[in-house]
Structure 1
């Protein structure tokens, strides 16, 4: 069976409560989704249960429960635990459809393609319709042969271009690659489907060989260009193995052969030929050369542009300035454009359209600037047609040099599963990256529906949220690609901060607030004084935390706590990607009082990261608070402190005094606000 991640989560909850009922509301709250979304999943849930001779019992006012024989239930639970989920986006499905059509020389049956992407033939036909615009751009078409199936018609080079373009869209949107010291790190959940399209080991091998050969060029490439070139070369290897070759016109070939890039491509393909036992003809080498000449480059450059080219760049800047835009450093703008436009023109001449993940955001937010740049390019470089992706890249250069008219002050809502831990880490990263973000509020997914979202300038989440309110989902450590997306997302928001953020009025504390304030003091002091710091061997995280919390009278029953913690882990892991630390955290009614536990592991423990990848950790910083507890903010200070010291985490966590003083300082400031009742 093939099921979605969300359907598996619903089934897992039901299978863990075989002797009790769960309401739709209970499921929605636990998974952090809406009740309507749960209702939509029920049809698939019941069908899956039917496959195991089980039924979904519905009892009014009680809820839902799985019914069936013990044997059938055991078989179902075992299968569910072993089940790999499939949650393909339309873009992923497009990649798989195109790959199958490109791979096959014969027509492909509709039902075969539908099965490959895990959908009905009706859904398949809708996705194929969505592909038509892309196909026209690349002079390709899908022909339907009655009784035989579908076949992709068009030039081999165009087929590769289109497949690479959609693959890059998928790779970027799913963060399949991150760049660490110029090398791509693979971390995807859809490994089965990506490996069907491109061999991961081959991708890494080609990438390493490519970097070795490019050292002789007088310029270096951006990380994105490394990825793009690698994808194109790997696709070329796949196609040559199946006797699919590109054809380059003789005059273009003759023009490319004397270039440095052609020599690099020759050396590279010579090595690849020996490794993969195939032959690259001159057209294939020229095809790689065109991509290399069109690759985007880093800031440094040792080559000179022609005087005519420089005149064109100056003319473009003059045109955009005449449209009412002012730039703070036109010399730096000229250098950036001068460096960018040569490979851009090479791409246009080779009919290569580069992928730009920010095109839509730039066109929407910088609408006037985008239009000015687009018109300027048509006038100054009239012999070329710049597609939107290229215009967006060039508009980025202009946008980065615009004089600031005013400094925005933003209040951002930051969402994670529990409202503590990862949300505070993300808040801290956001403030470090963007001076405009002067205030953040951290909340859990389950609290979203009770919040007036109009009070915020944007919502940024570490997990998927089921809301129509504009938001963006990012990794809590905010890698460079996510930071760039946040930059444009925030600019889409209304944005001018309300006066409520700039004015402070003080009111004395009233007698009715006495109990509430005293309770806050007692809980905060208890948290600081009862902090647990220990060195321990841990083999099972859930059992260790349950036993420790039970020992300190934080929870009453270990079983329900372990169940709730496992549900939390299923939504999002606790380990921080690329760092030897995990931050287990939970806010729940099962927790009777706040508890902070810092554990140095005597033996590394393998846990899931926030994006569900396995990683070894040496430290646990575990934070648990009752539902709706004010100590969530106190715990968040620990997360903030950790974020600031990720590179020297061993030194920090061995310093109990520093951690205690951080908590005490925050507590005193918070208490002062309460006593003055600052609003």
Structure 2
């Protein structure tokens, strides 16, 4: 018979004590843990229940219920009364061991770890065996010697990376930013929060917000949180004396943009004042490096709808699902954009070996069983060099489900903002279900938790969130992305008793007219920005034949940039050359099954957007063995409006169209410009 932990014991007693279904959120609230932790514990609980001939029944929209013969239930109750629970689960032990070793100044005795965890030294030793591969992934080493103890050795920067991953794997967004942290009864959870700098996180976030930098506001929430977590970990490491060595570790290896160092100095000064501590110079350089990596990775990835390989995956996946369902998903640009934005970081995590967690997997499989099987088959047909778990399939199904349920927007009376922890998949699913079930609600958009915390009340009527927020409870309502029947009633009650009462002081006609006028003006500005970017980009489009006989790829790209000399597009061509070559080393630039490559970059050294085409006399070999004779060069400034980004992303997506590829390979500049003009006009008209 397997051991159960105190937490598992508490959850099982809760299931035994109810006669109807109970949701994971209700279990989490009753036991003082996160929903993610509940789902994680359910895996072990199901194995324990199987020993008694019992099952967990999951009902979509209702929750979880214990099921089985009365004799098994009675035997389980007797077991729980007599069995002394383990103090900590295996996963909890490993979290504690990692936190202890990553924070320790000197080797830690195995006996010390065993004593705190109330297990044998042999158990700790076995845990460390399992942790060793995880530690090595970050360039660190787990050192164990008899009589010496155990320690994790390696660079301070790598240790911080490991701590960030530990947080990503074991903490929910609500754990970090919500007002309702888990109680003191979870000491391992407390230790992890201390290790990642939870006590300083909101001071760091407020300081970051006070800088009023435009680029931080443009970051996707997942990127913003990774940066914020990195900064919080930095403050914690400084507090415990684990600062970066001034000489031995370079915090900012590329000095191409000194403005970031100045920005980091200003940020460090304000943060030091907020925390009552001085930020060392080496840490300022490290923070500048964080800013640089975040800006560079985001600007490069978001510029051309992710890399070409990812675009091809999204295209093939969508076509495969269309073939199996007959639903015209390929015409849904929102689906394409959502899949690209979701799959880029998701695939990165899968390649790194990070476990994907999806607390909605059970309900998704029940509500969208047919679609789940179709998406699973479509993914397997792609033959990716990745093992795609059901949790990730569930997120993809949410995107396709949202597309299926997307309806024309009706005139609505209540303006709502959505905040969702799982990104675009859950927010779009929730938005479409709200449109279907509650057409009186107008969804203004999906924003991050940190934007919601500071959004002026006049800009919305209601915040609907799937996570706890750092806001007073009367300022938002928390529901699940699947929007159960009970939650619909709860939301209606909230709108009637809170939202609409707050609006009674404003005359309705004036309220609607003002909101409509403001919304119309914003749409006009957006259309103007999109048209200006389209016209300027097409007018600047140029085609150049390039004799690259006998020269290398770097020399070929350098010659391409020479054609832009004097055009006002490029500032520092040498730095831009390095960035383009770095992108080529990181990911394939080749359009699949063609002799065409798209080289693209966003940088502060690019002064305006540009699109240029080069046909080479001598092919260059890319992506191992692919000969490329045509290169499309797409450049844009690092600071780019949403409208400009949409236009450039649309052009990059067009490259999967064989008609455009043929034009780029064979036809004249004017013919290519006419085709792009026609397609972008159609894109603009669909936006209206």
Q: Structure 2-normalised TM-score? A: 0.41
